[in-house]
Structure 1
């Protein structure tokens, strides 16, 4: 067995973000099934040495207005059904120690993250309820600004009421998350929100699925100043694999095709609109896959695998190796960099980082050790 294969098996490998629960609920898909068009399954996790995954409870605010609690409950139930169906293969993790125990037992550890603070419906009671159900981080916003925090996704929309970062209630949310021992996730937030979170959080923060803005201009990525600030707070930035957040040439060319793709999305959503029910996110992912397959190499270049490695390398050098991790965003998009198809391909990242000169001990931190530390520190701060 090669050095990188041995390392992948010895390390505790934790992925900070995957949108897989939608597949359970919207597609009736099972973790033991072939991965199909998805990216995470029991089989691909075993093949890639993936020990633990934060499944995102994400409610599309455009499709579920006024029904955030209903949708959240269905996604949580979908995860629980998978755990009940596969008790010999999967276990729910509530702490860093649970991840370590699951690996020792040869089980895949499922963790829960809430993506988008709109899901708590401006209620600290609902925030506490999510924690009681096993949620161990909350991404403060999705691409939408909510009642108490600004998002990076709509700062140029004059129709959206922004807050200049956090509202007073937003600061109460951060304080309550600190008290509970729930990790504060700054992926998706605006720059103003980011800096205000840094001021008021008393515990380390995370960016569960964000990359480096110095290499790719997407506002979802973090600047070098922000990377260093997360490190100062003893937090972690977990690299997102989405091609448009990784490869700048691909991002610009893909954005240029937006007008071509818009009617395709509308056509894909039409059957659901006619029935008066929310359109599943899978509909737009199907459009993206087909459009990419038809036009790659013509309208846009294939996103480069080395570009992904560059983000790991950059964040490790700017923030420090103790403050970088894996935050794939698997199943939340359709297009991965070349050479990656699913969680089974995670060892390729380990191999190339070894080739770039990172040591086995450094990579054990990047692959999961850093996240274990942050989870323990946040939990301890809460106690």
Structure 2
């Protein structure tokens, strides 16, 4: 009878050791997130992310540090029908620069891998930008270079509404009247100029023909900054097996998105049921002029119990990471959360303080420290360096 308490003690001891192990691995890794949309909320809603925004956003400066984040590529985004999108992009970058100027001991804009490593050694968040949508260069290669000089280290070639020189996944799937598919001659010049600058080509959101045009053209490793696995969740925004294999052959990396709609096949049906239950309330909110994106935020915040039931388990996100690893290896996967660009996240991943739970899950799955370091940021840093060469 005495053996049971002793056994329980050793199990408890093992749990403590495991907890210390994942926390140490997480702390020592360079954690990179390639897609966070907090700048959109800064511009649209006037939030100030060097203040405490707990309960209001997924993100703020101090919570990033609690989550162990080291490198953030800030999404610079506006809708495809925004007037003067290049001006909007610069406005978003201005807002980031203002936060950095107020917090020089916490965050630093970095231009390259060497500066990034130096900032991380100093205990600062290393900040770069990713421009989400080729429409934001306004059909001008000089604008592309200007955004690069301001700190943009990737360009997502299309958003859902694409420029006239590249087709998006939304275009190619839903628009039967397209004049072309893939990259035009100007689109090819954009990719070539990005290679010359050392700016990573991002294929999240692009159509399949655009994707294959990029694979054929790019001389540098590419990224999918916030995409998941089509085989597990057949959404046009996700990558099919042949695309994943092509990115691996190219030496690039897939940064897995946290959005339940890209992870969980049961999510859309559950979300639609939720929206139907509250349709009249949503219609009333629309009449106030609240934009659709923020309307959903308001509805989910009002009904937390129902919202919780919509969210998939953290293990569903890990399934997407593991699928890529099993298909092409551990060198080609990372994290592109889409925090503050998505309404809901997997359970437990409530905000940016919860990144360590991903490390914990990977430790429990038996991944080595070396492999976890690659997943958390090492793979993206390899691609960044390769683009700089």
Could you say whether these structures have the same fold, taking a TM-score greater than 0.5 normalized by the shorter chain as the test? yes
Could you tell me how far 1:8 is from its partner in structure 2? 0.6
Q: 2:239 aligns with which of 187, 209, 222?
A: 222
Equivalent residue runs for 1:70-149 within 5 Å? 70-149=87-166
Aligned CA-pair RMSD = 2.1
Does 2:332 match 1:313?
no
Could you tell me how far 1:261 is from its partner in structure 2? 7.0
SS of 1:169's equivalent in the other structure is: helix
- Matches of 1:373 and 1:107, distance apart in 2: 20
Could you tell me how far 1:110 is from its partner in structure 2? 1.2
Name stretches of at least 5 consecutive residues in structure 1 with no aligned partner. 274-278
Deviations 1:291-342 (A, max 9, x none): 6x36447xx6431211011011111121211110010011001101111111
Does structure 2 retain, via aligned residues, the 8 Å contact 1:289–1:334? Answer: no
Does structure 1 retain, via aligned residues, the 8 Å contact 2:171–2:178? Answer: no
**Residue aligning to 1:362:** 371
- Matches of 2:70 and 2:141, distance apart in 1: 32
Structure 1 residues 105 and 353: CA distance shift in structure 2, 3 A: same
Could you tell me how far 1:260 is from its partner in structure 2? 6.4
Equivalent residue runs for 1:1-383 within 5 Å? 2-36=20-54, 37-62=56-81, 64=82, 66-158=83-175, 161-255=178-272, 267-268=284-285, 270-272=287-289, 279=291, 281-290=293-302, 293=304, 295-296=306-307, 301-380=310-389
Does structure 2 retain, via aligned residues, the 8 Å contact 1:154–1:160? Answer: no
Would you tell me which structure has more helix in proportion to its own residues?
2
SS of 2:204's equivalent in the other structure is: coil
SS of 2:169's equivalent in the other structure is: coil
Computing the radius of gyration over CA atoms, which structure comes out larger, 1 or 2?
A: 2
- Matches of 2:281 and 2:116, distance apart in 1: 41
Could you tell me how far 1:132 is from its partner in structure 2? 1.2
Name stretches of at least 5 consecutive residues in structure 2 with no aligned partner. 1-18
TM-score, L = length of structure 2: 0.89
Deviations 1:50-77 (A, max 9, x none): 0011100001124x2x321232121111
- Matches of 1:200 and 1:236, distance apart in 2: 17
SS of 2:171's equivalent in the other structure is: coil
